[in-house]
């Protein structure tokens, strides 16, 4: 999914906009770097990954 941003925004705002359940996101990364879901800022053209918690498989 591609989203255009006019200015940097908190990652958690993006999660809220997309109506994603933040408690179910265990791993967040921006451009390959692990970040805190609640502290990170994201900008246009950043690559964001959000993953649920996972266990054995």
DSSP state of 7: S
C-alpha–C-alpha distance, residues 23 and 3, integer Å: 22
DSSP string, 23-40: GG--EEEETTEE--TTT-
Residue 3 or 27: the one with the smaller Cβ distance to other proteins is 27
- Tell me the closest approach of the beta carbon of residue 18 to other proteins, in angstroms: 15
Residue 6 or 55: the one with the smaller Cβ distance to other proteins is 55
**Binding to other proteins, residues 1-57 (CB under 8 A):** 21, 23-24, 26-27, 29, 32-34, 49, 51-57
């Amino acid at each position: 999914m591609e989203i255009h941003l006019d200015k940097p925004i908190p990652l958690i705002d993006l999660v809220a906009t997309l109506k994603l359940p933040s408690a179910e996101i265990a791993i967040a990364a921006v451009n390959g770097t692990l970040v805190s879901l609640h502290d990170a800022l994201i900008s246009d053209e950043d690559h964001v990954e959000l993953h649920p918690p996972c266990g054995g498989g």
